[in-house]
Amino acid sequence: MNDASSTHAQQQQAEASRYALLLDWGTRIGLLALVISFAAYLFGWLKPHVPLEQLPGVWSLPVATYLERTATPTGWAWLTLVYKGDLSNLVGIALLAGCSLPPLLGLIPLYLKRRDYAYAGISAFVAMVLVLAASGILTGGH
């Protein structure tokens, strides 16, 4: 391995380590939140928005009909009902779906320091797409 490829390999290792560390913690926190909230839902510690006994009657319906029948909110409006057993699970799910964001943002200063503007831009764009998807603006969730 020559000097240039050795430097390239070291740089890639630094990027990978930072990304892995942030992703690892995000995933752990998300999974922990998911397991705790599901236990609270399953054992009735938190009262669900849709009673458990009614689920078999609605889970075979298309999502639009399900939402109408159960008066379940869309977009981020579930946060207003986060104390309900079933909707509290969405905290863990949202954490898992969003846990790639901190590692992506963590890469940007690393790339900028190295004047690797192309990858700083790509990381920022990927992060932006995730934020747009989460916001519900693109999806009409609000």
User: Which two three-digit tokens encode residue 51?
Assistant: 């009673």
Among 61, 69, 83, 117, binds another protein (CB under 8 A): 61
Contact at 8 Å (CB) between 78 and 27?
Answer: no
Distance CA 101, CA 120 (A): 14
24 binds another protein (CB under 8 A): yes
72 binds another protein (CB under 8 A): yes
Residues 75-134 that bind another protein (CB under 8 A): 75-76, 86-87, 89-90, 93-94, 96-100, 107, 116, 118-119, 122-123, 125-126, 129-130, 132-134
- Alpha-carbon dihedral angle through residues 13, 100, 128, 36, given to the nearest 10 degrees: -160
Per-residue DSSP letters for 52-92?
A: GGGHHHHTTS-HHHHHHHHT---GGGGGGGTTSHHHHHHHH
71 binds another protein (CB under 8 A): no
Among 31, 36, 81, 105, binds another protein (CB under 8 A): 31
Q: Which residues contact 127 (CB under 8 A, 6 or more apart)?
A: 101, 104, 105, 108
Interface residues with another protein (CB under 8 A) are: 1, 5, 8-9, 12-13, 15-17, 19-21, 23-24, 26-27, 30-31, 34-35, 37-38, 41, 52-53, 55-57, 59-63, 66-67, 72-76, 86-87, 89-90, 93-94, 96-100, 107, 116, 118-119, 122-123, 125-126, 129-130, 132-134, 136, 138-142
